[in-house]
Structure 1
Amino acid sequence: MKKLKTLLTTTFKGFSGKKFNPRRYLEMADIDLEHDREGVHYRLADRVDIVALLAIERDVYNGDIPWTFSHFEHEIVKNDEAFFIVAEISGSVVGFIGTRINHHGQDAHVTNLAVFKAFQGQQIASTLIEQLISLMAALGKNVMTLEVRRDNTKAQGLYRRQGFVTDKLLPQYYEDGADAIWMVKELKK
């Protein structure tokens, strides 16, 4: 374990141009990339989970799917600087969070977060965010960022409870012309 922790520190402190791949640390007990909490199992997403992620999007976005199969596949399978964590109950995926490493490996950007409407209010989204924050802090990242619709005050509240603060307004950010709010969380001083 000490050797793995040394490898982790050496690889990610300065990022040294190496590609980020959290899949190589699946066995790392300190980070809890896979664990159970209050009947919910959290783990890294695999390609087979994409159909479930699309179903969650349809449910949360009232029939729309902002991300296509190809978008998810790229981030989960092909992009070594991105990954998703899923939450599952009784073997069924009920929520997910995605992230991408930016700025030469120093920052992490939350790409999306969704939980089936029937499972909202059970702390699943909060736990997904907490797990991602812990992982990024342990990997030596400086900042986490995300954008959220300006009219989505519920999501903004969730992010604020996790320590994110509003940084700036992104006018007409979304395809429908809606504004976004850019939020930031400092991970280390």
Structure 2
Amino acid sequence: MDRLLKKFKKMQLWLQKHRIKKDELEFANLRVEINGENYLLCRALVPDIPEMYALQRQVYPQDASWDPTVFESELQDQAHKIYFILRYNDQLVAFIGGTFAVRSKDVHITNVAVMPLFQERGLGSFLLKKMIAYAAQHSFKTITLEARLSNVRAQRLYAALGFKNNGLTKNYYQSNREDAINMKYVIKKEKRESKENE
């Protein structure tokens, strides 16, 4: 009985240490300036889904895997997922999403989209840096994502931010069976520690 109690207490301590508390994935809206333009950075909520879906269709017209029900499922899991959106004059112009895996200490970028009229303005880079900083703040160690083999522009952006090639997944994308390049970013220990001490 004593052994069972010790095992239970050990498991309880592990769970307390490794769980994400609901408030840990909270985020307050911010006004930000990116390359001289003002934007509003917010956490995406269910009412944002129609705009997110419209942007998804505009940026990735061949990809039918992200429908409104997928967005709803993603946004409702607020304990493990976060989506940031950028608004310009109240119009949603970009978003990024991430899933926070507590056991592996990895944040997986699930989706990034920037309205074509707003591309090449640093929004994608800004959102990725924001997700990296947010992951570091919560003591995560890596960030992973996939990019279409044909999407060289996205691969260059990820590489410029420090993501490294981490292999290939054959036939990853449902729409056309295109291969995906897996990329990984390792959050430096100093960055995690400085965020922990703030």
Mapped partners of 2:52, 2:138: distance in 1: 26
- CA drift at 1:23: 6.9
Mapped partners of 2:85, 2:50: distance in 1: 12
Structure 1 spans left out of the alignment, 5+ residues? 1-13, 28-32
Mapped partners of 1:115, 1:122: distance in 2: 10
Residues 11-49 of structure 1: per-residue CA shift (max 9 Å, x gap): xxx97242354676435xxxxx63321311111111111
1:26–1:57 CA distance, 2 compared to 1 (3 A) = closer
Mapped partners of 1:170, 1:77: distance in 2: 28
- Which residue identity does 1:36 align to in structure 2? V
Mapped partners of 2:134, 2:86: distance in 1: 16
For residue 139 of structure 2, give the secondary structure of its aligned residue in structure 1.
Answer: coil
Mapped partners of 1:43, 1:111: distance in 2: 17
- CA drift at 1:66: 3.1
**Does the CA-based 8 Å contact 1:51-1:69 persist in structure 2?**
yes
- Which residue identity does 2:98 align to in structure 1? T
- CA drift at 1:75: 1.0
| Higher mean C-alpha displacement, 65-74 vs 179-188 | 65-74
Larger Rg: 2
Identity across the alignment (%): 29
1:58–1:136 CA distance, 2 compared to 1 (3 A) = same
1:102–1:96 CA distance, 2 compared to 1 (3 A) = same
Matches within 5 A, 1:1-189: 16-21=17-22, 25-27=26-28, 34-37=30-33, 38-62=37-61, 64-102=63-101, 104=103, 106-175=105-174, 176-189=176-189
CA RMSD of aligned residues (A): 2.0
Mapped partners of 2:21, 2:69: distance in 1: 21
- Say which structure is richer in helix: 2
1:71–1:61 CA distance, 2 compared to 1 (3 A) = same
Q: TM-score, normalised by structure 2?
A: 0.79
